[in-house]
Amino acid sequence: MSRPAKKYAEVGLADKLSFVGTILCLPAAIAWGLLTTTHLPHNKSRSLKRILGDVTLKFLVRNTSVEQLQWSTPSTMDMYAAWTKANGLPGTVDEIGEDARLLWIGEKRLDRVILFAHGGGFVLPASDYSVSFWRYVQLELEKKGIHVGIALLNYTIVPTANFPTQLKQLCRALEFLLDAGVKPENLQLTGDSAGGNLILQLVSQILHPLPNVPLVPTLSAPLRGILLISPWTNLTADSPSHSQNGSFDSVGPTTLSDWGSRTKDAMTDPEREAPFVEAVRAPEGWFAGIDKLVERVLVTAGGVESLRDDVVLVGEMLKKEIPGTEVVVQPGGMHEDMYLDFSAKEDLGRLGTLTPLIVEWVAAGFHD
């Protein structure tokens, strides 16, 4: 059932008072969360500050509405401005058309590029800790003599714009980079959660073009790689891992189903568009031909995340077309687990196993 139309971050006085009440409950919720989760197997190797961060995020996501989260969270542009200032880095913004932007992390360079689509269920802006993660990857690559430009796609959030606007913006970002001289063989695409969904939308658009979305320019060579971090491929949240892991993960099935319905309800041709936004429901052979578009694929998930089963299923779908596709499930990992380390400002010596794996995988793609 569709909900009454609202504007982005539209909250009334009652919503604001409710949000304040939620914040006032946070200390007690944190205390209870630490008491009941610290001993769980997936937390055995985690520091107290990491568990504290997980408990806090879980409580806030599950006890606030989308509109409250939007109202209380800086926009992607505001986050980027604050993050670059705090880290002493230049803020370099490319206006690329379609009301989208590329926000460069560190130095803008076009010889080797990572194009990054952020997560957030299409309803939330990019987080500063996801940018911090990619800055860390960038610096680790530099230690290996690999200098990379990383561009964050600033796309429009629901309900300001709905599908396929975000797909159009990613198509435009790819076109912009190619026109600027970036070679496909020196370009890797990455997306987490909804950003991973968006990367798969791009692949689907190349293979099965929608008439209301501009065609993607023909690639002169396959893209060097696609990295999907906990990609959100089931907006209905009905696979077994949602019920098995919903109590452990930062985002549970009720939240994911609510966020997903906001994209699905706005679709104008659900039968045709469904495989674009829910890859788990794509017909057999949907990704046939992807081996001509990209050389390498890495798909990651957490062992106790709600999306685990869907991530693995889509990873296996891709592996049928690109046999070298790697599907890695981190034992005890949560949704976007490596980002949560950076959210908690975890000591670098205690980062999870996916972080060094991603650094090495990206580095391998950029070796001559």
Which domains does the chain possess?
A: 74-366 (3.40.50.1820)
Long-range contacts of 176-182 (CB under 8 A, 24+ apart): 176/94, 176/96, 176/97, 176/102, 177/102, 177/110, 177/113, 177/115, 177/151, 178/217, 178/219, 180/110, 181/110, 182/110, 182/113
Closest by Cα among 227, 195, 230, 189 to 340: 230
- Structure confidence at residue 5 (pLDDT): 56
Q: Which helix (H) or strand (E) holds 111?
A: none
- The residue ranges of DSSP E strands in the chain, in sequence order, are 92-97, 100-105, 113-117, 149-154, 187-192, 225-229, 297-302, 326-330
Alpha-helical (H) ranges within 88-164 are 128-143
**CA 331, 113, 330 angle in degrees (round to 5)?**
0
Measure the CA angle with vertex 334, ends 232 and 244; round to 5°: 80
Place of tokens 């693995």: 312
Structure confidence at residue 367 (pLDDT): 84
* Per-residue pLDDT, 101: 99
- Per-residue model confidence as pLDDT tens digits over 120-134: 999 999 999 999 999
Mean pLDDT score across all residues of the chain: 96
Calpha distance 348→364 (Å, rounded): 22
Residue 217: the pLDDT is: 87
Residue 184 is classified by DSSP as G
Give the side-chain half-sphere CA count within 13 A for 125: 22
Q: Does the pLDDT at position 117 exceed 60? A: yes
Length of the chain: 368
What is the C-alpha to C-alpha distance for residues 340 and 334, in angstroms, rounded to an integer? 9
Q: Give the pLDDT confidence of 274-331 residue by residue, as tens digits.
A: 999 999 999 999 999 999 999 999 999 999 999 999 999 999 999 999 999 999 999 9
> pTM (2 decimals)?
0.96
| Max Cα–Cα distance, the chain, nearest Å | 58
